[in-house]
Amino acid sequence: MADVLIIGGGICGLGTALLLARDGHGVTVLERDADPAPDSPQAAWDTWARKGVAQFRQPHNFMPGFRLILEANLPDVQEALRRAGASRMDMLNPLPPFFSDQSSRPIDDKLWTYTARRPAGEWVFTNAARNEPRVTLRHGVQVVGLLAGPPAIDDIPHVIGVRTAGGEELRADLVVDAMGRRSKIPEWLAAIGARPPYEEQADSGFTYYTRYFSGAEPQRIGPVMMDVGTISLLTLPGDHGTWSVTVITSSRDQPLKNLRHAEKWTKAVRACPLQAHWLDGEPITDILAMSGVVDRYRRFVVDGSPVATGIVSVADAWACTNPSAGRGMTVGLMHAVRLRDVLRETPADPGALARAFHENTEVEVAPWYHAQIAADRTRFAELEAWREGRQPPPPADELSRFLSSLRVAMAADPDLFRAALEYIATITPIQEILKRPEVAKGVAATIEALGDSASAGMPGPDRKQLLELVA
SS3 181: helix
pLDDT at residue number 455: 55
Give every CB contact of residue 427 below 8 A, 6+ residues apart in sequence: 64, 65, 68, 110, 111
Contact criterion met (CB below 8 Å) for 73 and 336: no
With a cut of 70, say whether residue 452 has pLDDT above it.
no
Here the CATH number for the domain that contains residue 272 is 3.30.70.2450
The pLDDT mean for the chain works out to: 91
In a domain, 159, yes or no: no
pLDDT grade for 94, boundaries at 50, 70 and 90: confident
Tell if the pTM clears 0.75, that is, is over it.
yes
pLDDT at residue number 362: 97
In a domain, 170, yes or no: no
Give CA–CA dist 439/111, Å, rounded.
Answer: 18
Containing 425, the helix (H) or strand (E) segment is: none
Query: How do strand 135-139 and strand 26-31 relate by DSSP bridges?
Result: parallel
- Count structural domains, the chain: 2
Contact criterion met (CB below 8 Å) for 89 and 115: yes
With a cut of 80, say whether residue 238 has pLDDT above it.
yes
With a cut of 90, say whether residue 292 has pLDDT above it.
no
Please name every residue paired with 175 in a beta bridge, in sequence order, or none if there are none.
5, 311
377 backbone dihedrals φ, ψ, rounded to 5° = -65, -40
In a domain, 177, yes or no: no
Give CA–CA dist 286/274, Å, rounded.
Answer: 22
Query: How do strand 242-250 and strand 156-164 relate by DSSP bridges?
Result: unpaired
pLDDT (average), residues 272-286:
94
Tell me the per-residue pLDDT of 109-135, one tens digit each, with 9 for 90 and over: 999 999 999 899 999 999 999 999 999
Of 98-107, 248-257, 454-463, the poorest mean pLDDT is in: 454-463
With a cut of 90, say whether residue 102 has pLDDT above it.
no
In a domain, 95, yes or no: no
pLDDT (average), residues 338-362:
94
pLDDT at residue number 457: 62
With a cut of 70, say whether residue 306 has pLDDT above it.
yes
Tell me the per-residue pLDDT of 354-376, one tens digit each, with 9 for 90 and over: 999 999 999 999 999 999 998 88
With a cut of 70, say whether residue 456 has pLDDT above it.
no
Please name every residue paired with 234 in a beta bridge, in sequence order, or none if there are none.
225, 246
With a cut of 80, say whether residue 55 has pLDDT above it.
no
In a domain, 411, yes or no: yes
Q: Which domain holds residue 382?
A: 373-458
Give every CB contact of residue 252 below 8 A, 6+ residues apart in sequence: 205, 384, 387
In a domain, 418, yes or no: yes
SS3 98: coil
